[in-house]
């Protein structure tokens, strides 16, 4: 009988705590549902952001997409840079000397420069004979006195 009384008392205590337990279970379920909703909302936001990013990338790609006809012979053709390089090598032979920062009238006073221009216009190669001829020509202006070299100690 004592056992029945204690068991009855436990049942009554359990019945008293049952609404509290139900309320706690409902609160936990509500919190779980809220977390699920927040997670779903975050997933939707991520998907929307990803879709927006993909759309922007596709819009950019469409702006810079190459739209060219198929031309298999293009692989064996000379490029524009190569053609310019060939043209430059044909025009620029080995110069006897490089001229920088002079006016046209100053350049034309120099016999050596005029000789070099005539050699280029005549398509002559610069060889030892041209260098010797260039050495015999006088400069447009004489060098400064402090640049003269004495042959006394040679």
Is 99 a residue whose pLDDT tops 60? Answer: no
Q: What is the pLDDT of residues 72-96, one digit of tens each?
A: 888 888 888 888 888 777 666 555 5
DSSP string, 36-96: HHHHHHHHHHHHHHHHHHHHHHHHHHHHH-------GGGGTSPPHHHHHHHHHHHH----S
> What is the model's pLDDT at position 24?
92
Do 134 and 96 contact (CB within 8 A), yes or no?
Answer: yes
- For residue 148, the tally of other CB atoms under 10 A from its CB is 8
The DSSP symbol for 33 reads H
Q: How confident is the prediction for the chain on average, in pLDDT?
A: 83
Name the more confident of 41 and 103: 41
The Cα 17–Cα 67 span in angstroms is 76
Q: What is the pLDDT of residues 14-51, one digit of tens each?
A: 888 888 888 999 999 999 999 999 999 999 999 999 99
The Cα 47–Cα 85 span in angstroms is 52
């Amino acid at each position: 009988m004592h056992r029945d009384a204690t068991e009855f008392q436990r049942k009554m205590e359990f019945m008293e705590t049952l609404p509290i337990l139900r309320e706690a279970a409902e609160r936990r379920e509500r919190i779980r549902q809220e977390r699920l909703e927040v997670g779903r909302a975050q997933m939707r936001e991520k998907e929307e952001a990803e879709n927006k990013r993909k759309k922007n990338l596709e819009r950019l790609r469409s702006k810079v997409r190459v739209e060219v006809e198929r031309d298999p012979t293009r692989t064996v053709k000379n490029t524009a840079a190569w053609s310019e390089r060939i043209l430059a090598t044909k025009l620029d032979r080995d110069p006897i000397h490089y001229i920088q920062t002079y006016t046209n009238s100053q350049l034309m006073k120099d016999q050596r420069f005029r000789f070099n221009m005539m050699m280029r216009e005549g398509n002559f190669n610069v060889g030892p004979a041209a260098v010797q001829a260039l050495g015999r020509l006088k400069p447009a202006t004489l060098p400064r006195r402090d640049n003269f070299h004495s042959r006394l100690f040679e």
